[in-house]
Structure 1
Amino acid sequence: MAEVKIGYLLPTRDQAVRGGDELTRLITIAQRAEALEFGSVWAGDSPLARPRADPLVLLAAVAVATRRVTLGTAVLLPALRHPILMAHQLATLDRLTDGRLIVGMGAGFPTAGTQRQFDAIGVPFRSRVSRLEESIEAMRRLWSGKDVSFAGRHFDFRDVTLAPAPAGPTGPPIWLAGSGEPALRRVARLGDGWLPYPPAVEDYARDRATIHQTATRPVTSALYATLTLDEDPQRARELQRRSIEPYYNAPLEVIEKIQAMFAGPPSDAAVWLNSYIEAGARHIVIRLAADDHLAALEGFAASVLPRLHR
């Protein structure tokens, strides 16, 4: 079996929900995740629909505070940004990390809150998927370090050269979120990785096989998973509810039908995650729904990490 990496999502949204603005604490948590042998640290993106610290600014700070751990966005919404500026930011961040960056991207989940976010920024919501695809093409060209011209449906520019170039010749890997036939085709055509959150492992295995049968490049199979740990399953579920419902402004019962979520004892959590690993997941990004995120991180590292098939 290929090496399996376990990543950790920084609780930027959780901190914002509770009115916290101690961003340096997030850097401390990232450093602790590195010390606990997590393979990666991630930050989410949503300036208005689910407000939180800007992921690229935060990850720049984490970049200089860490040495080994991979850094990633889970996930960035490129349709909200111009690809020249976004490519410039990501190339600079990739240089700061010495090539430790993964750019997780998504189009934006179709909810009323997400649409209001696009409306406020002045980007047509219905164009978000085509903007995502066009942005990927434009950024990969810009990361070459050469003089670039681009003519697309949404973006048109001439004779642009970015500096600095990314750490590697092709730029940081781009991982795409999404499920369903159009999204899977997009991953197979454009992605270096796939970062979904299907609640059923059978769906994960089926979709992964579809991608790998049609992909035009090697694709890393990843997973975004939310966990709440407690020996009492009922207590774990109530804790998860307290965390998830203000996070999304939606009932837990709605979110768990869409996303991979677990609440219960650490031993059962390991069995659940191992089922995805057996189905082909090779990089799992863990979001911990908890009151005390540093304690939850320590607890996961002590009670679940050693049980995972890596």
Structure 2
Amino acid sequence: MAEVKIGYLLPTRDQAVRGDDDPALMIALARHAETLGFDSVWAGDSPLTRPRVDPLLLLSAVAVAARRLTLGTAVLLPALRHPILLAHQLASLDRIAGGRLIVGMGGGFPNAGTEAQFDTIGVPFRSRVSRLEESIEAMRRLWSGEGGSFTGRHFDFRDVTLAPMPARPAGPPIWLAGSGEPALRRVARLADGWLPYPPAVTDYARERAAIGRMAARPVTSALYATVSLDDDPAKARVLLRRSVERYYNAPLEAVAKIQAMFAGRPSDAAEWLNAYIRAGARHVIIRSAADDHHAALEKVAGQVLPLLHLHGHP
């Protein structure tokens, strides 16, 4: 049976929208998560659309402060960066972390805010997916140590040597977000893991099975899930709305149509997450919709994690 890992999304965006810009608070939360038994911590990326502390710089500090945790990006937008520079950053971070890095990546959700972010940085929005794919290929070539040359539609370079190289010979594992046939084919072709957030567990199971049929190598199935916990489900729903609308600047109903979200009692949250685990999720990344994140972290650890089926199913 495959063991299920539990991760925690550091609330960097929540911190930013509430006007607090001290990254030390995020490092303290990561250490708290480590103490409570979480397996990993994650940081999101969106420098202009949803500003927050830079995920790679934050995770480099967390790597030193919490030496057991796996570190991940959920998710990074590689199309905003040149692959040589990003490969260098990720290799350095993987070395600092002693090989504990997972690079969750995405193309960028198609909406006006994301398009404006790309335009401001000078990257054509329409090219974001092809840039993502080329970046993965280029970075893996740079990490291989077998000659850093690449020719593609967007990037062209010769004889580039990185130092340091990643802690692992093939570089850190790359997990890709996304649902729908084109995204699933991309995961099967390029990724080491899949990091989606489908609101229906039946869709999760169906898409995971599709990846399994298409992929030529094992792909770790993960899940990004937002939870709002209160013994009074109505209060939990109010908290979820406040958190999500503050985070995304969009109505809860619109976001809930595309993202896995739960509001209610901890025991019911565990039952909801267990459905995804039964459907094959092997690394569950929990985003807490909360005002007091230390208290929410303790509630997840004390009242949800003990009820999860962490030994999974074949």
Listed one character per residue, the Cα deviations across residues 186-236 of structure 1 (whole Å, up to 9, x for unaligned) are: 000000000000000000000000001110211000000000000111110
Partners in 2 of 1:200 and 1:233 — Cα distance? 20
The correspondence of residues 215-226 of structure 1 with structure 2, limited to 5 A, is 215-226=215-226
Q: Give unmatched runs, 5+ long, in structure 2.
A: none
Superposition deviation, residue 144 in structure 1: 1.4
Superposition deviation, residue 145 in structure 1: 2.6
Superposition deviation, residue 289 in structure 1: 0.4
Matching of residue 66 in structure 1 with residue 73 in structure 2: no
The correspondence of residues 95-244 of structure 1 with structure 2, limited to 5 A, is 95-244=95-244
Matching of residue 45 in structure 1 with residue 45 in structure 2: yes
Superposition deviation, residue 54 in structure 1: 0.3
Aligned residue pairs, count: 310
8 Å CA contact retained: 1:146, 1:161: no
- TM-score, with structure 2 as normaliser: 0.98
Listed one character per residue, the Cα deviations across residues 86-120 of structure 1 (whole Å, up to 9, x for unaligned) are: 00000000000100000000000001000000000
Partners in 1 of 2:216 and 2:146 — Cα distance? 24
8 Å CA contact retained: 1:143, 1:162: yes
8 Å CA contact retained: 1:91, 1:167: yes
* Alignment correspondent of 1:85: 85
Partners in 2 of 1:194 and 1:144 — Cα distance? 22
SS at match of 1:98: coil
Partners in 2 of 1:41 and 1:119 — Cα distance? 30
Partners in 2 of 1:191 and 1:48 — Cα distance? 26
Partners in 2 of 1:71 and 1:242 — Cα distance? 28
Listed one character per residue, the Cα deviations across residues 8-55 of structure 1 (whole Å, up to 9, x for unaligned) are: 000000000001012101000001101111010000000000111000
Give, as a single letter, the amino acid of the residue that structure 2 aligns with 1:211. I
Give, as a single letter, the amino acid of the residue that structure 1 aligns with 2:243. S
Superposition deviation, residue 67 in structure 1: 1.1
Give, as a single letter, the amino acid of the residue that structure 1 aligns with 2:302. A
SS at match of 1:143: helix
Q: Give every structure 1 segment of 4 or more consecutive aligned residues whose post-TM-superposition deviation is greater than 6 Å.
A: none
Partners in 2 of 1:179 and 1:28 — Cα distance? 33
Superposition deviation, residue 246 in structure 1: 1.4
CA-atom RMSD in angstroms: 0.5
Partners in 1 of 2:99 and 2:217 — Cα distance? 19
* Alignment correspondent of 1:304: 304
8 Å CA contact retained: 1:145, 1:163: no
Partners in 2 of 1:250 and 1:216 — Cα distance? 38
* Alignment correspondent of 1:24: 24
Partners in 2 of 1:236 and 1:169 — Cα distance? 45
Q: Give unmatched runs, 5+ long, in structure 1.
A: none
Partners in 2 of 1:26 and 1:181 — Cα distance? 36
Partners in 1 of 2:147 and 2:137 — Cα distance? 15
Partners in 1 of 2:138 and 2:46 — Cα distance? 22
Q: Percent identity?
A: 77
Partners in 2 of 1:9 and 1:173 — Cα distance? 18
Superposition deviation, residue 148 in structure 1: 1.3
Matching of residue 260 in structure 1 with residue 260 in structure 2: yes
Give, as a single letter, the amino acid of the residue that structure 2 aligns with 1:275. A
Give, as a single letter, the amino acid of the residue that structure 1 aligns with 2:98. D
Partners in 2 of 1:121 and 1:292 — Cα distance? 34
- TM-score, with structure 1 as normaliser: 0.99
Partners in 2 of 1:210 and 1:307 — Cα distance? 29
